[in-house]
Amino acid sequence: MKTAAHPLLIHNGTVVDGTGTQPIVDGVVVIEAGKLAYVGPAHGAPVLPESVARIDARGGTILPGLVEAHFHATYFNIAALEDLDIKYPVEYVSLLASVNARLALECGYTAARSGGCLFNVDFWLKKAIEEDLIPGPRLSASGREICSAGGLMDWNPEFRKIGMEGLVFIVNGQEDARKAVRALVKDGVEWVKTYPTGDAASPDINDHHTLCMTFDEMHAVVRTAHNHGLKVTGHCRATEGIKNALRAGYDCIEHGTFMDDEALDLLLQRDVPCVPALYFEKASIERGPEFGLSQRVIDGHQETLDGGIESARRILRAGGRLGMGGDYGFGWNPHGDYARELTFFVQDVGFTPLEVITCATKTGAEIMGRGDEFGTLEPGKLADLLIVDGDVLADIRLLEDRSKFIAVLQGGVIKAGQLAKSFPILVKREQ
Ligand SMILES: [Zn+2]
């Protein structure tokens, strides 16, 4: 991804740098060669020639670009589990994924970690974004997911003769698990997404207290993935599934819904991050009836939401790390609504806006394994940032409103927001 060739100065805004430290009122950010050269108070800022381009933050907020830590590029208007694999052909899904990527960037998400996708679409999407062919977040790819036979993601009845090869590797035992990871290694993904447990979406045979992989299968996944430098994460709701994942050496936990003391200890021992993805549960409860979800499914989502809130609180209070994001792309939880997760964590979970922003920036970048490149506003890091017209710390909901974004920058280049079309640097770059 190209970075800006010209210096840029951003002034007249409160800087929230993503590290969790107190904001800098009347802050200034100076960008040189696409990287942050100065972040601090206006009175200590370097004096730059008048000719240097400037952005007036209008007394608003300057913060790191947001990181979606559980991004499903290929999900689009999903109403039932089957929609994940057989609703559209891969050709159309690839196009939808590029639309979702552009939308995420416009929503202030300058980076995203895949939580799994159809075929290997996110790997190629990442390449197209990196080569500036299409706009989108810097991506970590996951490709296809792994689940054991009969588990949550193995829903097509045998008589239909429909395979699941586009969405998930269905494995039976350690040898299959290794084989699936080896295929992913060749696909070039960075994260291996697995299904250690079920979900409220499947109340009959794979609910949120059901295990969908054995420990041995999970351990085989981790050994093979780590050998090739890949990381492993998993959809973990049931308590025993969380513990299996942590004992098997998982690098991240998705959801971490029903954590008990032992699970929390295991998580903290290796400082494994968790991505709760709770707004999806709330949306499923609130909008489920209009999409035809049964009361049993909705009740399961309520139990999941309650458990997830409690676990997220415990993890943060105990000093653990949480990433923000989650499962957007369903009919009741569409792409574009990403920042609702952030509002939810302030309003319903009880985190401070500063805590939530740290989770959504610094921790997100750490989960991607790129915490030294972006995620906080510190000199030397890439100038991936978001300038919002308004006080985000006073009203986190501002992050849900794209019309309030003055600019979204990647590597110092304005990619979205009010200034995206008019800003002279972008015009110069295109000449
Ligand atoms: Zn997901």
Give the end of a domain, one of 344, 367, 390: 367
What pLDDT sits at residue 429?
A: 39
Can you spell out the DSSP letters for 173-203? HHHHHHHHHHHHHHHT-SEEEE-SB--TT-T
- Residue 144 burial (10 A CB sphere; 0-12, 13-18, 19+): buried
Ligand 1 centre distance from Cα of residue 269 (Å): 25
Residue 409 pairs with which residues in a beta bridge?
A: 385, 414
Cα separation, 34 vs 380, in Å, equals 9
Question: Is residue 264 in a domain?
Answer: yes
> How far is the centre of ligand 1, averaged over its atoms, from the C-alpha of 414 (Å)?
30
- Residue 150 CA to ligand 1 centre (angstroms): 18
Distance of CA 324 from the midpoint of ligand 1 (Å): 12
CB atoms within 10 A of CB 128: 17
pTM of the model: 0.95
Rounded to the nearest angstrom, the distance between the alpha carbon of 423 and the centre of ligand 1 is: 36
Measured in angstroms, how far is the CA atom of residue 23 from the centroid of ligand 1? 32
What integer pLDDT is reported at residue 37 of this predicted model? 98
Determine the Cα–Cα distance for residues 362 and 340; give it in Å rounded to an integer: 18
Q: Measured in angstroms, how far is the CA atom of residue 398 from the centroid of ligand 1?
A: 25
Last residue of a domain, one of 312, 347, 367: 367
> What is the C-alpha end-to-end distance of the chain, expressed in Å?
18
Dihedral angle at the C-alpha atoms of 115, 158, 207, 149, nearest 10 degrees? -60
Residue 2 lies in a domain: no
Give pLDDT, residue 410.
98
246 lies in the same domain as 338: yes
Cα–Cα distance for residue pair 415/393, rounded to 1 Å: 24
Q: What is the pLDDT of residue 81?
A: 80
> Both 202 and 324 in a single domain?
yes
Query: What pLDDT is attached to residue 326?
Result: 82
- What is the whole-number distance in angstroms between the Cα of residue 327 and the centre of ligand 1? 4
Same domain, 259 and 396: no
| CATH label of the domain that carries residue 406 | 2.30.40.10
What CATH number corresponds to the domain at position 346?
A: 3.20.20.140
Q: Could you tell me the distance, in angstroms and rounded to a whole number, from the CA of residue 17 to the centre of ligand 1? A: 28
For ligand 1, the distance from its centroid to the CA atom of residue 10, given in whole angstroms, is: 36
Expressed as residue numbers, the domain containing 46 is: 8-65+374-430
pLDDT at 270: 97
pLDDT computed for residue 245 by the predictor: 98
Per-residue pLDDT of the chain (431 residues), as tens digits, is: 999 999 999 999 999 999 999 999 999 999 999 999 999 999 999 999 999 999 999 999 999 999 999 999 999 989 888 888 888 899 999 999 999 999 999 999 999 999 999 999 999 999 999 999 999 999 999 999 999 999 999 998 889 888 888 999 999 999 999 999 999 999 999 999 999 999 999 999 999 999 999 999 999 999 999 999 999 999 999 999 999 999 999 999 999 999 999 999 999 999 999 999 999 999 999 999 999 999 999 999 999 999 999 999 999 999 999 999 989 999 999 999 999 999 999 999 999 999 999 999 999 999 999 999 999 999 999 999 999 999 999 999 999 999 999 999 999 999 999 999 755 444 343 33
Q: Are 351 and 316 in contact (CB under 8 A)?
A: yes
The answer to whether residues 11 and 28 touch, using CB atoms and an 8 Å cutoff, is: yes
